[in-house]
Structure 1
């Protein structure tokens, strides 16, 4: 007795692409495996940048070119770069917190856990930022910067 039209777990009878059709029950197992092994393309997250953001991203010197071109001592420049990096990371964590709070798919418990982790990360980053600011203050006192250099340093600190 022959069974016609039976389905086993590996053969649903549905083709993976419109141009491919299975013909006979005697198809090779390799052909079936190749159809099942075809990767599926999944679209990811799209990010769009404004013209100003694109210009800033692709500027010749990068995001710290103003610090490098300031003429300040190397140790001051390194501290300014560190401060900017910490400020940027803090802003990213705060944005992530806002996204978690606005996410309707998360349970309250998941939100609380994620927010607690983000608050801890922000606290650690704030500690690092305080340390970097204290180190910068100490270096400024020891290096004897001119009034012009102090103004330049202040403007670089306030720039984001």
Structure 2
């Protein structure tokens, strides 16, 4: 056992804690099994969620099958995702405006937050589209047309 004593300016002595030893396999085996070792959470994925995941994979299959460069494919997928998020925020804004249970102050506060998020998404979309335009300059005319048409969907 290691013991250290130190005197502080206030003349108080502090003694270090004794060294601890690592648990051995026999020590661990001696610990009784409890319910804590069983998983506490069980996750079940519904059929609708599985269909939604499959639809998401197939929604970008035209991009994956386009034969374009990987960076262009990633940009096109990003543009689609951002457009989807913009549509969701716009739908949320419409729902807030139609909700008659909210006071005018509550509606303004929620709309302000949604407008802020929408502005950020629109800035991201502009940036992704600019990156796509830059990448398209190095493409053949056929690939550039293909990328532009995929970006419009």
Same fold (TM over 0.5): yes
- 1:67 corresponds to 2:63: yes
Counterpart-to-counterpart distance in 2, 1:133 and 1:60:
21
Describe the SS at the equivalent of 2:100.
coil
Match of 2:16 in 1: none
TM-score, normalised to structure 2's length? 0.62
Among 67, 75, 84, the alignment partner of 2:80 is 84
Distance 2:142 2:134 in 1: 18
Alignment equivalent of 1:126, drawn from 122, 126, 148: 122
Could you give the per-residue CA deviations for residues 107-130 of structure 1, whole angstroms, max 9, x where no partner exists? 111100000000000001111111
| 8 A Cα contact 1:79 1:132, kept in partner | yes
Aligned residues: 104
Q: How does 1:32-71 map to 2 (within 5 A)?
A: 58-59=54-55, 61-71=57-67
Q: Tell me if 1:156 matches 2:146.
A: no
User: Offset at 1:61?
Assistant: 4.0
Structure 1 residue runs without a partner (length 5+)? 1-47, 49-53
SS of equivalent residue, structure 1 residue 62 = helix
User: What corresponds to 2:141 in structure 1?
Assistant: 147
Aligned match of 1:100: 96
Query: Over aligned residues, Cα RMSD in angstroms?
Result: 2.0
Larger relative contact order (Cα-Cα within 8 Å, sequence gap ≥ 6): 1
Find the aligned partners of 2:93 and 2:65 in 1 and give their Cα distance. Answer: 35
Q: Structure 2 unaligned runs (5+)? A: 1-47
In the alignment, is the contact (CA less than 8 A) between 1:90 and 1:126 conserved in 2?
Answer: yes
